[in-house]
Amino acid sequence: MSAAVVTGAGSALPATLEQQAAWDGFFARHYEGVRAAERIFLGAGVRRRHAVANPMDEDLSGWGTGARMARYIQEALPLGKQAVAGALDAAGLAPGDVGLFAVATCTGYATPGLDIRLASDLGMPPGLQRLLVGHMGCYAAIPGLAAVGDFVTARSRPAVLLCCELTSLHVQPAQPDLEQVVAHALFSDAAAAVVVEPGAARGHRLAGIVARTDASTADHMTWDVTDLGFRMGLSPRVPDVLSRHVGEVVDELLAEAGLRVEDVAGWAVHPGGPRIIDVVRDELGLAEEQVGASRRVLAEHGNCSSATVLLVLQELADVDGPIVAMAFGPGLTLYAALLLPA
């Protein structure tokens, strides 16, 4: 069986929204009278992010879920098409070469879904296999990568993974809730895609996946479907839970390949927030520059849910050596992938 190798990547970002402008132009009113809201919002490690729905131009906080889902398809189609087309171009493949197309999202649903509509629009073959990775949250890119990697290895055909998240469609009604302040301060919109090919001589091969779920802390991070979009629940205890598990997850991942932390050339840490990056850095004994790509993505793009770790991997495209990608989300769940030079 051939190794599954990541050979191309692409991304698409909607309009940029400056964090200070978002506070001054909308969220200052939204959270008027909420103590510490401004400090939390402007201290989230985000300088700018991206939004298909700029709250300064249109307030979606009173929209019903149906209207938000219709808007998701409208906005996601061009972004997803651009990201997938860019990844295919980078890999030197045509849409007709693809055997499996997987789409990960937790921010929008429709049937026929984004996978069917994009496959048709891009000219992928009618016999294409498809997979929807739904509502897993910020870590979904890595189980998605595992699934397409297994397909590539078993079937010896290329596959594409697209993560498309439009969190700006889920701005919530104003309420004095600091968890909502944190969520609105961090989350952003993006589409990111990767191509995985069998036995390619270039790129990074998928060498291992490790997962860990701590079900005892399931209430620490939630993403609930409501009549007014999807609502994030985010406990400040999440970094503490992560600190208990990240070391053993990385040790298990690297041990299977005979590697140690010191052997890793690139770290693609999902930047769920500044404290998340701090915990990973400190628990693994990394230098600050080793998590620099994650800090840059958080500052320049915000937390784009499942697309974010793929954006960090793009920052590490020139790294020649082992790369560890890791992401965290509801469950609480940690996923980590090891990528080795092909």
| Active centre residues (catalytic) | 138
DSSP string over 232-271: EEE-TTHHHHHHHHHHHHHHHHHHTTT--GGG--EEEE--
Which ranges constitute the DSSP H helices of 156-291? 178-186, 238-255, 274-284
Beta-carbon count within 10 A of 1 CB: 10
Q: How many whole angstroms separate alpha carbon 129 and alpha carbon 152? A: 12
Beta-carbon count within 10 A of 132 CB: 17
Choose among 316, 81, 83: nearest CA to 203.
Answer: 316
Q: What is the DSSP letter of 321?
A: S
Contact 133, 147 (CB under 8 A): yes
Choose among 104, 115, 102, 110: nearest CA to 72.
Answer: 110
Choose among 317, 146, 331: nearest CA to 238.
Answer: 331
